[in-house]
Structure 1
Amino acid sequence: MEMKFSWLLLGLPAVWMLAAAADVPAARGPGCSARCGEMDVPYPYGLDPQCAIHDGFVLNCTTVGRATKLFHGGLEVIKISVPDGKAWVKTWISRQCYDQTTNGMLYNNAQLWLGNQYVLSADDNKVIVIGCKSLAYMWSDSYIIGCSSTCDIKALKNSSCSGADGDGCCQADLPKGVKKYISYFNVDYNTSQIWQSTPCNYIAVMETAAFNFSTTYLTSTVFYDMDNSLIPTVLEWGVARNTCGQARTNKTTYACVSNNSDCIDNNYVGYRCKCSPGYKGNPYVSDGCTDIDECQDNVTYPCAGICKNTQGHFTCSCPPGQDRINGLCVKAHKSIWVAPVVGGSVGLVVLLIVATCAYLIRERRKLHRIKQKYFRQHGGLILFEEMKSQQGTAFKIFSEEELQQATHRFDEHWVIGHGGHGKVYKGVLKTEVEVAVKRCMTIDEQHKKEFGKEMLILSQINHKNIVKILGCCLEVEVPMLVYEFIPNGTLFDLIHGNHGRHISLGTRLRIACESSEALAYLHSCASPPILHGDVKSTNILLDGDYTAKVSDFGASILAPSDKSQFVTLVQGTCGYLDPEYMQTCQLTDKSDVYSFGVVLLELLTRKKALNLEGPEHEKSLSMRFLSVMKENKLEDILDDQIKSNENLEYLEEIAELARQCLDMSGVNRPSMMEVADNLGRLRKVMQHPWAHENSEELDNLLGESSMSMVSSAVTTEAFSIEKRVAMGLESGR
């Protein structure tokens, strides 16, 4: 199993990358070519540095064989849309094929890294998997996206890729903001037994409109061979990594230079420009947005009468002697008909007002019924009755309106966190209590049925190191969760932020101990036990006193009573995933232990769990740690702030505990209760008066002077003996 997992991280082919761009746009130089072969090259793009708005938009016009093609870095550009802020490029297909010569599987795994100005378009692309026995996924820095494809020979149809069992093809939605990915195939799903009829499996990120499934993709290699293993993919781009508000403050660098142009924000790539409604052209060029003559296009802008074009708009009137009735110009009636027509018009207006009021009342009642339906569907009635029977509980069922008011209608400026399950907003209730509101994106059918019951169980969790769930909102399609607000950010920010703070070993050990106690409580003391499922440093929050608080267990699952219960797709966070879970797709309490082991490594090394931009042997922190432990070179990976002769024995014991947590086999890992006990005993030993290292309090983090403990006068050898005695006494308790 270890060899397979290492291959997932190291067995990568060539990388295609779009370079990052500067933030300051430049004016287009004179004498710039705007075409490459048959393709237009619109500004802000250019074929030379002086012809593009900045380096991120410089393209290369290259002759390939008899054709002239356009490239951005290593990617061929096939289309550019300035109004939409999109570019179409060709990316590579990944494949998994049986090799007859070696009697093994051949892998061609693609990866893509984009610069600051580009992201993959979530609206225009899909993750597509083709094969009769395939489980493939795209591994990004924040997401793992993929699906499983099987074949039913009798049911195979061209153009059918619904993802149903037996289709031979499946699709997965692409999250917004993805800048890079690496494709992988699950090694247990391959074509080694069916290669004569189905030689290969494939996965690609591809433009949805360009994909049309054919059964020949399964029985031959035509899908991979039809365009040199290249497929069209849509990118979104922004002209600079600023918001519109920030960009407008500097008129010399603001890119929307044309009159009648608007600025559009994109949270993932910065801002771009677009001509205002009623205008067309290029907003990045002075006077580039020109008026649309609507009178020349009677199909898009119909006018039954006299059409007159105006700046940004048009008017449509009837000739003299004609009146407009029902949108048509007709000969004017004599005055004897004026009164009946006016009377009829007034009656029609009254009728419309009455009908509108009736419609609004009907829609309001319909909305109320929908909210009641969601409330019942999520188990709200059961939860409400249980809350009434348990007087004094602080758990509350919130209305959608309450949470909208608390978060300023879910204003993006109030977002304090993003995750694979949704967004987290800061909110202030009417009682002036600060809360964190988690707005999830999706929920599966099983959790919909059990949601009320699970909320009742989670509401009873009361532990000082676990973020308290204050309530939920059930009258929406996907329930929202309300937590207590934790002010000092995450453990990830503390150890990886560029603040330059000194964090003592004592502080790190205390945070690790508090976090392990919280997880041990969920595993062993909650009834039924709760599996967190996404333990990582960003899910460990720090309160005003920098006490650790484990969060996001609202997205966890209750421990299944049926051990055969599996999930259908791999989910979690890259760098923290249990390799055994990657193979079995079965979440256990030992999966949390593995992820916590990675958090211990972050505390020991102050390095991130996954670094896709680093050298091959340093991309996975856990793999690098196991390697240095095997070579007995632990000091090579430790953080310099805590690496000292006085700390070495403690560091070795913590590292050994982390190594046990990272064992490839779950049965060999300790339980979270055992981890918490070991860290607790070690923390007590460090606080013993004989300990050499000063136990720095959080005063250092809060900007106050640290308190130094009196150093012991005993020798290092005597301290080592006394420390072992103390550990023996603690374990005896």
Structure 2
Amino acid sequence: MLFHSAKEMILAVLLLLLQINSAHAALVGLPGCLTTCGNITIPFPFGIGKGCYFEGFNLTCDFASQPPKLFFGDGTIEVIEIYLTESIMRLRSTLLTALPSEEKELVIGLPPQPSFALVLNQSVLTAVGCNIITNILGDDGPVAACTPLCPVNKTGHTCSGIVCSQASARVQIGGPFTIRISPLKLNGSNSFYDAITNTALLVEQEWLDKNVIELIKFLDPFSNHQQRESMVVPFVLDWSITHDGIKGCLAAKENVSVYQCLSANHVCSDALFNGYRCKCKPGYEGNAYLTNGCEDIDECQHPDIYPCNGICINFPGTYQCKCPKGKHGNAVAGRCISNWATRASFLIGVATTVSIALLILALTVLLCKLKKINEKLLRKKHFLQNRGLLLQQLLCFNEDVAGRMKIFSIEELDLATNKFDQTRLLGRGGHGEVYKGILSDKRVVAIKKSRIIVKREIDQFINEVAILSQIKHRNVVRLFGCCLETEVPLLVYEFISNGTLCDHLHAESKCFLSWDDRLRIALETARALSYLHTAAPVPVFHRDIKSSNIMLDETLAAKVSDFGASRSVSIDQTRITTAVQGTYGYLDPEYYYTSRLTDRSDVYSFGVILVELLTRETPHAFSRSEEGTLVSYFSSLQRENRVVEMLDPQILQQGWIAQLKGVAELAEVCLRLKGEERPTMKEVEMRLEELMLQKRHVHPWTAGSSGEQQRLLQLEGGTTTRQYSFEQEIENSSSFPR
């Protein structure tokens, strides 16, 4: 056949291609449309010619080339391959070359269509040269750059190709973009590089990883022109379907007239930048952009991909692989066995399972019994280590102690505290943790449990049991009993609901303890300590008196607690030598330096508490640190008769001047450095009782001189007269002597 022109030849080739691909076109492109160009398949939404493509996806085929070449858009960029399922295009990269001192640009003519994006984590900017900077420029400026540098003093041999490549995050460039080469102005020069031609281009990252050596040769400024023409270097474009004002699958599905996922067996996914993508469901293949474009895969025809070593049955979108009749098992893996063998295996399996279950049950019962025996032996061991026999003898021979105290089992305390649940935790002290519990007789108790298992802690717990079991005083926390079946003994106290004196004095909120309450708390604490020193069955030195160890019940009555550091002494002893224990700020200096513990050591600590009651200052965190410790500052002001300057304004307003000065004088005596100069706790108790009686019979504003009252008013901020309500006047007048 003769062709009179090149145009007639091209048309004939087109018709021939259409006939060859007509059977396949229904699954690739629209009916009557060209679906190949050379050896490249053209799937819809791409197409050649009017009506064969979705808007913006037009391609051009150059039939004059041998083989024919496919171009993107109107023929500026050569298309190497189109991947329908991955929604990417591989395009042939164009090389940009420039002289060493020359700035040059290459415009990549993508159509102004938001469906296409340059993917800079799949395609990288690569350059070869010396002392240049190469950029990819989009509408908003540079999106990627790389800068190959060369040594200034390079001499001698041929340039080996200084290469750099730069990948960026995914960047959308909806339209033409530019590759630019610019020379860098660096200090120093080398004439050797003046002859090197700088080159740059976009390269697919996956291709570059496999062909880096070939690429360096391709970019070598000394390589010949024919070698460059014969080598195809690809870069990648991302694509998706977009409509004006519609982004994503959800919005596109609502507009059925423009939705392009036409196959019944498709799935839609949102694109990263814009629009959406269509794919066939698993088990189907073809073109999801065409009606009936996704056809069922007959998995049975592809055993290399869908293995089956039995009877293969195809189903829409999937397949089933079965064993032959009379057999069962895993046909895919080829493990089909006879049914009679299965029955025998089943019976053997049942017998084995029952035997193992019975064996496990027997072992479980045996282990439970052994565990209970071990627990019982361990509890007995702990009971003996914790001197349980000694405590039992004490309860047997002392009916008074037995009536007040009980030895609890660990089961009782587990039940009372819900197995020491953290929600029952009341607080942590220096000698253990305290939990709230409810006994079987409905008594609410506090249970102290050591946190650290060391012998010293155990000795302190045992010491506290021995002391408290013999003490009976209304101002000492009552010990209901103990549990000696644990490694560390557990102590069961009466529950004191109102916190500690420290909480009430030093809480961030306003203190509501009146002077009357404070004086009474001081007296009750003194009574408890006086009882411990002189009236207890065995004299006891507490050794850790502080405001956090004075509990307050619902009526604000004082209860001395925490006897873990206490020491009992013989009646004829006045002092003992022992390791120093106590709390900073409350510790007797004489005891600290000499290790000689006396009853006056508790007197010193009580004196610190009196200062706390007067000032509401914390001994271990005194706010006026420049004045020294709380005790030293208080003592210096007391000696200068200026102690009112540091008294709590709240009790100054109540006006009991004489009582305040009396308590301050008592505190100063208790805080003397030499123990023999301090009073006994009995003398302290008697002095506080005198002050309490004096307080009951003297009106607060007649208790001090008029000069003292005037100076206190000035300390409070002026000389304005105090105003009292009618009810307050009646209350105050009730304290006048009749």
TM score, norm. by length of structure 1: 0.47
If you compute each CA radius of gyration, which structure gives the higher value, 1 or 2?
2
More helix by share: 2
TM score, norm. by length of structure 2: 0.46
Larger RCO, structures 1/2 (Cα 8 Å, 6+ apart):
1
